[in-house]
């Protein structure tokens, strides 16, 4: 019988970074509240023949993934919302340009980090601040990046 693990991470203590240069990212952890939609799928196909009960199934390549980040709205120049908005509004000449994001569930040196940042990773969706008279909480915006893969490494600093 296997023993129960004790090496866990709380979902609320990670770190998040963004930038156009994967070697020079801006940490936005104190302004970020959620990273989600982090699953990646593989192409699949099935076909039924006139004989047999089950489908023939084949598998293909990994599909691109779109990861969502929630950030607190604040209109101060160096805050996360304004950093991402500036990237969105000046991201290339109408055709986009690369963006790099990184997050770490543990957030400490030596913990795993997950990164998206190749010439094919793009900022593909940005939410301007919503309003809701029914709630008194902070305004939260979302941005999404789309890329071919997530790279796993170890947090160095």
> Does residue 7 fall inside a structural domain?
no
What pLDDT sits at residue 39? 92
Q: Which residues of the chain have pLDDT under 70?
A: 91-94
Provide the pLDDT for residue 156.
84
Q: Give me the pLDDT at residue 92, please.
A: 60
The residue assigned the tokens 């893969």 is 149
Question: Residues 16, 93: contact at Cβ < 8 Å?
Answer: no
- What is the domain range of residue 96? 15-154
- % of the chain with per-residue pLDDT over 70: 97
In a domain, 3, yes or no: no
Tell me, yes or no, whether 9 lies in a domain. no
The answer to whether residue 6 is domain-embedded is no
Could you tell me if residue 79 is inside a domain? yes
Query: What CATH number corresponds to the domain at position 25?
Result: 2.40.30
Count: domains in the chain: 1
Q: What is the pLDDT of residues 15-59, one digit of tens each?
A: 999 988 888 899 999 898 899 999 999 999 999 999 999 999 999
Residue 42 within any structural domain of the chain: yes
The torsion angles phi and psi of 16, rounded to 5 degrees, stand at -135, 140
pLDDT of residue 144: 94
How far apart, in Å, are the Cα atoms of 122 and each of 9, 57, 87, 96, 130? 29, 32, 10, 7, 23
β-sheet bridge partners, residue 35: 69
Q: Phi/psi of residue 112, each to 5°?
A: -65, 145
């Amino acid at each position: 019988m296997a023993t129960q693990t004790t090496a866990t991470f709380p979902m609320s203590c990670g770190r998040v970074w963004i930038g156009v240069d994967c070697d020079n990212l801006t940490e936005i952890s104190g302004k970020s509240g959620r990273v989600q939609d982090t699953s990646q799928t593989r192409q699949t196909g099935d076909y039924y023949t006139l004989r047999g009960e089950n489908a023939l199934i084949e598998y293909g390549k990994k599909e691109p993934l779109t990861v969502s980040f929630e950030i607190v709205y604040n209109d101060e120049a160096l805050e996360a919302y304004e950093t991402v908005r500036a990237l969105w509004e000046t991201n290339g000449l109408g055709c986009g340009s690369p963006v790099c994001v990184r997050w770490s569930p543990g957030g400490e040196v030596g913990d795993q980090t997950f990164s998206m940042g190749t010439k094919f990773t793009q900022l593909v969706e940005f939410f301007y601040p919503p309003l809701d008279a029914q709630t008194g909480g902070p305004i939260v915006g979302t941005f999404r990046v789309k890329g071919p893969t997530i790279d796993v490494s170890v947090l160095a600093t």
